[in-house]
Chain A
Amino acid sequence: MRRYMPVLALLALALVLPGAAAATKTAYLLTQGTMSAYYALASLGLCALMGYAGQISLGQAGFFAIGGYGSALLSTLDLRGAADAPIVRALDRLGLLAGGADSAGALALSPWAACLLAILLAAAVAALIGTPILRLKGHYLAMATLGFGIVVEKIARGTAAFGGADGLSGVPGLGLAPGLAVTGGREARAANFTIAWIVLALGLLFLVNLMRSRSGRALRALHDGEAAAGAMGVDTARIKLKVFVLGAVYAAVAGALLAFYNGSIGPGEAATTKSVRYVAIVAIGGMANLSGTLAAGLVLNFLSLRGVFGSLDDGVFGAVLVLVMLLSPSAADYRRGFSEFAQRFAPTPRGSRSGAQAATPGRAPGDSGPGAPSGPRVGGEAKR
């Protein structure tokens, strides 16, 4: 049960904090608390991908934007001009349209349909680009995902349909129940805080379960070495793609819900600095650490939204990222790794046994001259 404590804590806070905020007359903080929860959700998805599976992505904001822009565009796109088109009629029959030909307002996809389509789109894009780029590793994967993020940002900024630098606004609320919707406005504020934190708690719960499962172990094994994971039967390419899509879906859900909550979305959500921010939050949270990512995501985004970092905002995330990289235990591993690496080229030929065991495939035949530690053993045995 201990592993579910953070989930339960989130649920408790989801219910308690709105009341506490009202009692202390700080209900205005709930708005930033709600937004922080959605940003934290996007970070959680990246935590699964980067922290656990070891696949870096600098394109998380791209998927966030696809979810947000997709929902905003599809739920506001006026279909009245095409009301007689077969596809619009079919959508109407399926009950996927909001408004109607007879109503005074616009005819558009219902928010739910828009939201689901946008998330599916993000998943499809992730699957499409993930297939080639997940063959890359390390820096190369980072650069490829960075490129993807830049493409999404430029499309968002440069396309008239996406509102250019202004983004899209007038996004309707996403109705959950009568009188309850993911939407902005003072009267919906407390309820939306609770909705966002419950969504975040669910997102966390799913990942806590996943990481303790067969698939979660496979992801962690993948992180530590593809050769071993593959040799034990893990289809490394497939599971990488799965977790990449999963991370994208988390970001897209977060982006969609934030667009409905704010009633708008702008190109800033697609910015590379946002992607870097998600990476920083996962790193600060301790990489393969869901609760840490969650806490870092909530706290840092909240402070940022409150304007605590002032005009240095993204700079703070960058600086914290540098610090974490320098101080993290894995950085210590790298430093140790370097000294071992250096020792291998030290003049003494009799190195450590395990270090000298590297009979690599590319080694020349008979290249077992001085320094090959197992040679004498074999020779000694054969002589008898």
Chain B
Amino acid sequence: MSAILAAAGLSRSFGGLRAVDGVSFEAGAGRITAVIGPNGAGKTTLFNLIAGALSPDSGSVSFDGEDITGMRPHEVARRGIARTFQTVKLSGRMTVLENVMIGRHTRSRSGFLEAMVAAPWTRAEEKSMRDISMAAIERLGLGEYAGREAGTLPFGIQRSVELARALASEPKLLLLDEPASGLNVRETKGLAELISGIRGGGTSILVVEHDMSLVMGISDEIVVLSFGRKLAQGAPRDIQRNPEVVAIYLGEEDADA
């Protein structure tokens, strides 16, 4: 397995709390890697460290053979990493199409001055942005919403729009932060098929997820976090049998009961 993403000894503290504590793992090219763990295990922090939304206190991240540690989010994005957010982040007053077209930002060039004078070549670029974005919208079955303001749509649709936006960038690596949260069982099944389909297209995927049914069904590799540390890593079958993993989830169950 060749790794597209490798984290080595990543750590990040908030105040006295070690949210991510010396985590190392690799995500294979063309594979689906899942990061699971109870609430507060450091999954989203780990994600933000990879995507550049946070800088690590120590450790490194390399992507596609390049050290991307401490890069800002747009620099990470330009290297071919697209992400979704745990809480959907769309521009509510922009249409679905316009939102998805933002996903083409890294794949287009035209700047301020060219746009202001409507230079002829910007028109061709605009058309290609529009076409590819529409294709991403259709792929997620959102065609009927393309012209609607994103903020007016139901939550589940917004989540799909966010995914369409990420896909429109044609990423090498797709980071999905709890894509199933807020979805019902049927929607989650559809999402699983979709994610498998994206992987089938050659995109590598790293998914942070709470919903074990989703993760177990689609993942090639699972990384388990607990209290900011990596507890286990392996194929879904092995993870399910890992006594430590079972213990932390059962432990959480007890806490909830």
List residues of A whose CB falls within 8 A of some B CB: 206-207, 209-210, 213-218, 220-221, 223-225, 227-236, 242, 246, 288, 353-354, 357-370, 372, 374-383
User: Is there contact, CB below 8 Å, between A220 and B91?
Assistant: yes
12 A-B residue pairs with CB within 8 Å: A206-B117, A217-B94, A217-B102, A221-B99, A231-B85, A362-B19, A365-B228, A367-B40, A368-B40, A376-B256, A379-B252, A381-B213
Q: Judging by beta carbons under 8 Å apart, are A233 and B169 in contact?
A: yes
Q: Which of A288, A361, A378 is within 8 Å of B211, CB to CB? A: A378
Taking residues whose C-beta sits less than 8 angstroms from the other chain, chain B's interface range is 35 or more
Chain B positions 224 through 243: 1 when the CB is less than 8 Å from some CB of chain A, otherwise 0: 00111000000000001000
Chain A: minimal CB distance from B70 (Å): 14
Q: Which of B43-51, B59-67, B140-148, B193-201 contacts A (4 or more CB under 8 A)?
A: B43-51
Q: State whether B87 touches A357 (Cβ < 8 A).
A: yes
B139 within 8 Å of A (CB atoms): no
Is the CB–CB distance between B86 and A359 below 8 Å? yes
Given A218-B105, A361-B48, A362-B19, is A223 in contact with B39 using a C-beta cutoff of 8 Å? Answer: no
Is the CB–CB distance between A377 and B210 below 8 Å?
Answer: yes
In the bound complex, CA of A71 to CA of B173 (Å):
53
* CB–CB A353/B77 < 8 A: no
Q: Is B112 a contact partner of A242 (Cβ separation < 8 A)?
A: yes
Query: Bound complex: CA of A206 vs CA of B122, how far in Å?
Result: 14
Name the residue of chain A whose CB is nearest to the CB of B77: A233
Is B39 touching A375 in the complex (CB atoms < 8 A)?
Answer: yes
**Which residues of B, 106-130, contact A by the 8 Å Cβ criterion?**
106, 108, 110-112, 115-118, 122, 125-126, 129
Residues of B within 8 A of A364 (CB): 17, 40
Which of A206, A360, A379 has a CB less than 8 Å from the CB of B256? Answer: A379
Please tell me if the beta carbons of B169 and A375 are within 8 angstroms of each other in the complex. no
Partner pick for B169 among A232, A242, A359, A379, CB 8 A cutoff:
A232
B163 at the interface (CB under 8 A from A): no
Q: Assess A359 versus B91: contact at CB under 8 Å? Given A214-B125, A246-B112, A378-B212.
A: no
Which of B48, B118, B211, B256 contacts A370 (CB under 8 A)? B256
Q: A210-B116, A217-B94, A365-B228 are in contact. List 4 more A-B contacts (CB 8 A).
A: A228-B89, A234-B74, A365-B226, A370-B256
Chain B residue numbers with a CB within 8 Å of A362 are 14-15, 17, 19
B30 at the interface (CB under 8 A from A): no
With A228-B90, A230-B77, A233-B106 in contact, is A365–B256 under 8 Å at CB?
Answer: no
Chain A residues near B108: list those with CB within 8 A: 214
Partner of A361, one of B14, B51, B115: B14
- Indicate if the CB atoms of B250 and A224 lie closer than 8 Å: no
With contact pairs A232-B165, A357-B87, A375-B38 given, residues A383 and B93 touching in the complex (Cβ less than 8 Å): no
